[in-house]
Amino acid sequence: MTSRRQFLRDLGITAGALPFVSGLPSFAATNVGGIKKRLIFMFSPNGTVPAKFWPSQDGTLASSAILAPLAPFQKQVTVLKGISNLVGGDGDRHMRGMSCLLTGARLHPGNIQGGSDSPAGWASGISIDQEVKNFLQKNKETRTRFGSLEIGVAVPDRADPWTRMCYAGSNQPLAPLDDPYQMLNKLYGQSKDRETYASILETLGSDLKQVSQKLSSEDRALLEQHMTLVREMEREMADAAQTGELAHPEPELDPNIELVNDNTPQLARMQIDLLVNAMANDMTRIGSLQFMRSVGQARMRWLDINEGHHSLSHEPDKNEGAQEKLEKINIWFAQQLAYLAKKLKETPETGQNGNMLDHTTIVWVNELGKGNTHTLDDLPIVMVGGEATRTPGFHDVGNKIPHNRLLMTLAHSMGHRIQTFGEKKWSHEGPLKWS
């Protein structure tokens, strides 16, 4: 039996704590009819190797050493060049590159020191994945049980602007869940204490309302975040009551894979399988897949690379050995993207024609354009499936085009026609268009 104290601890309701979004186990799938548009962000860190990344002008993916693994999806891939993160403000470029990547908003002033730049705090706005999630969750026809899934692969157990790209709002970073066994339980775990949870939620909601009358406006705003979480859990439990047969049975995970660096390839496949399965069962239509973190020092020994990734990314271009290793690392990330696309393409849409990749836009992003210069220009942007199928190929969209406009384009593709996003001065020209 789950105690009330343990339940509150799972929620993150302790002194000074922000809501912990994934405290309540999940109960059942939600099946929604109609065309299901989906959006997935895949992140890899520390920039790319431009000379090996950008394809030829004809857009042939085989002309790019790094993008070659995506060649089987040639007609469903869009590569965009000329997009920059122009947000500026406090924090070093890795920090701003990571935490402004999906928010398009400046970092708050803070005391987190990085590099030689001014210290900073968390991002000051919501990320585009959560913006679209909130839009979809307001409509019964597009609402899903989880709204979004934040999935990690080899993300270190720490919390700072280098490790977070998804934000529920200003000062509200969302941690990716990088344990596939926990993710499996989140998606498919069954609770025998459903009535206990319902009772706790009812009492908790009543208690919070009474307390709110005695709080300052600032504390009341924080409390409202907790109350919103309670309401979301109540709604999830109501959805769970409409249990139906899963169209796609839950995947089986190898129970012997430990959460250690050298098992990263296996863990990546497990997480991708879980994400695709959850989307196939319409548990969510918004997902993020975060590999490692900005400034990450993963040692990719499965590629016969023993140096830390970030250290390699700082080596000068004339260091041919380092460049070759960085190329191998980025090819590996492209292979993970290809595996995700393949899994989606192999999965038919339930009750519809076509496959899941037809209606799922995957966006591969990076916090930097190039590691040893820390540039935030020419961010390597790759889109696969979904909207990318409309305009496949290589597109040079201009020079220093604000990435806020790309984020708006993605929101519009999901039916959310926002007028600006993040800093208004970088999004006032509207969604980005290319042909």
More confident residue, 126 or 351: 126
Note whether residue 335 is domain-resident.
yes
SS3 240: helix
Describe the strand order of the beta sheet including 360-365 as a list of residue ranges.
Answer: 147-153, 284-291, 38-43, 360-365, 381-384, 77-84, 393-402
Tokens of 238: 């109501």
- Residues 75 and 204 placed together within one structural domain of the fold: no
- Residue 334 shares a structural domain with residue 241: no
Hey, what are 72's tokens? Answer: 């089987």
**Mean pLDDT lowest among 126-130, 149-153, 204-208, 397-401:** 204-208
Q: How far is CA 267 from the centre of its chain?
A: 17
Q: Assess whether 139 and 216 both reside in one domain.
A: no
Would you state the pLDDT for residue 244? 53
CA 362, 366, 371: angle at the middle one, nearest 5? 155
Contacts (Cβ under 8 Å, ≥6 apart) of 294? 45, 46, 94, 95, 97, 98, 162, 163, 367, 368
CA distance 226 to 13: 8
Q: Is 299 exposed, middle or buried (0-12, 13-18, 19+ CB in 10 A)?
A: middle
Give per-residue pLDDT as tens, 41-88.
999 999 999 999 999 999 999 999 999 999 999 999 999 999 999 999
Same domain, 217 and 280: no
Q: Residue 71's pLDDT is what? A: 98
Strand segments (E) across 96-176: 147-153, 167-169, 172-173
Strand residues in 106-225 grouped as ranges (E): 147-153, 167-169, 172-173
Co-location of 83 and 196 in the same domain:
no
- Report the pLDDT value the prediction gives residue 4, as an integer from 0 to 100: 40
| 222 alpha-carbon distance from chain centroid | 24
In the predicted structure, residue 13 carries a pLDDT above the cut 50: no
Same domain, 121 and 46: yes
DSSP 69: G
Q: Report, as an integer, the average pLDDT of 285-291.
A: 98
Q: pLDDT tens digits for 178-233?
A: 999 999 999 988 544 445 555 565 666 666 667 777 777 777 777 777 667 666 66
Q: Is residue 132 part of a domain?
A: yes
Domain of residue 209: give its range. Answer: 1-30+190-258
d(CA 49, CA 332): 13
Q: Does a structural domain hold residue 434?
A: no
Q: What is the pTM assigned to this prediction?
A: 0.84
**In terms of domains, do 163 and 64 share one?**
yes
Among 205, 229, 258, the domain boundary falls at 258
Count other Cβ atoms within 10 Å, centred on residue 415. 12
240 and 101 part of one domain: no
Does residue 357 share a domain with residue 326?
Answer: yes
Residues 101, 207 within the same domain: no
Distance CA 32, CA 9 (A): 33
Taking only the tens place, the pLDDT of each residue in 298-318 is 999 999 999 999 999 999 999
Mean pLDDT confidence for 367-383 = 98
Residue whose tokens read 């993020």: 288
| 49 and 163 fall within a common domain | yes
Q: Which pLDDT score is estimated for 43? A: 98
Distance CA 423, CA 125 (A): 9
Residue 149 to residue 141: CA distance in whole angstroms: 19
User: How many domains does the chain contain in total?
Assistant: 2
